[in-house]
Chain A
Amino acid sequence: QSVLTQPPSVSAAPGQRVTISCSGSSSNIGNNYVSWYHQLPGTAPKLLMYENTKRPSGIPDRFSGSKSGTSATLGITGLQTGDEADYYCGTWDSTLSVYVFGTGTKVAVL
């Protein structure tokens, strides 16, 4: 059972902006960095954002991350059909000593 809560789905037209929230607690998001991953059907997850706001090499600046208290948010601007995927947040839980993932959010481009 996921400890981090995300909306099941978000959608918008091409070129628009979407945000995905990730809600946790003081034992995970509140005291640790948050990462974001995206996953195309049938493929492995890929790191999209790390240390709350940093983008790995090759990830366009259309993607942004933020964190406030026990919640984190991923933003995608200039939405493209290629952005249709499942998105997961993740972080370490210091109390449980486990890595926790979000419930996952499916992004749809209308």
Chain B
Amino acid sequence: EVQLVESGGALVKPGGSLRLSCEVLGLSFSDAWMTWVRQAPGEGLEWVGRSIPERGGGATDYAAPVKGRFTISRDYSRNMFYLQMNSLKIEDTAVYFCSWIDKTPSNLASWGPGTQVTVSS
């Protein structure tokens, strides 16, 4: 069974930084396509970015609102998936979910419970 567990969410001031982590269990992480999705309070789902494993080319893609501020990375030795968030804005306040992409780029097959990020002065 695939298990994803996010951590690292916190209250941070505008302009600050935060790193979210996602522990990935129950699948071959070295072959796993992974993604981050967020959900602002009372709003819908918003894709943040994705990571293709090194074996598949190693590319990362980002949504326009976070490009240049957020960085996705992974530690293959620890099965950990990360989201480094810099220059945080109030509008980055959201619950952040990590998700595993299975079979096709459209299929977010498994999700973690999420971690809350609040950006406020």
Alpha-carbon gap, A97 to B64, bound state (A): 10
Write out the residue numbers on chain A whose beta carbons fall within 8 Å of the beta carbon of B103: 50-51
Interface 9-residue window, one of A10-18, A76-84, A87-95: A87-95
Q: In whole angstroms, how far apart are the Cα atoms of A44 and B114 in the complex?
A: 7
Residues of B within 8 A of A51 (CB): 103-104, 106-107
Mark contacts of B92-118 with chain A using CB atoms, 8 A cut-off: 1 yes-contact digit, 0 otherwise: 000001000011111111111110000
* Chain B residues with a Cβ closer than 8 Å to the other chain, count: 24
Question: Total interface residues on A, using CB and 8 Å?
Answer: 28
13 additional contacts (CB under 8 A) given A2-B44, A45-B37, A104-B44: A32-B104, A37-B108, A44-B114, A47-B109, A47-B111, A50-B103, A90-B45, A92-B104, A97-B61, A98-B61, A99-B50, A100-B47, A101-B47
Interface residues in chain A, defined as those with a beta carbon under 8 Å from any beta carbon in chain B = 2, 32-35, 37, 39, 43-47, 50-51, 56, 86, 88, 90-92, 97-104
Contact status B107-A35, CB under 8 Å: yes
Contact indicator B46/A101 (Cβ below 8 Å): yes
Distance between Cα atoms of A101 and B31 in the complex (Å): 24
Q: Does B35 contact A (CB under 8 A)?
A: yes
CA distance A43 to B39 in the complex (A): 11
Taking each of B35, B97, B111, B114, which has the highest tally of chain A beta carbons within 10 Å of its own beta carbon?
A: B111
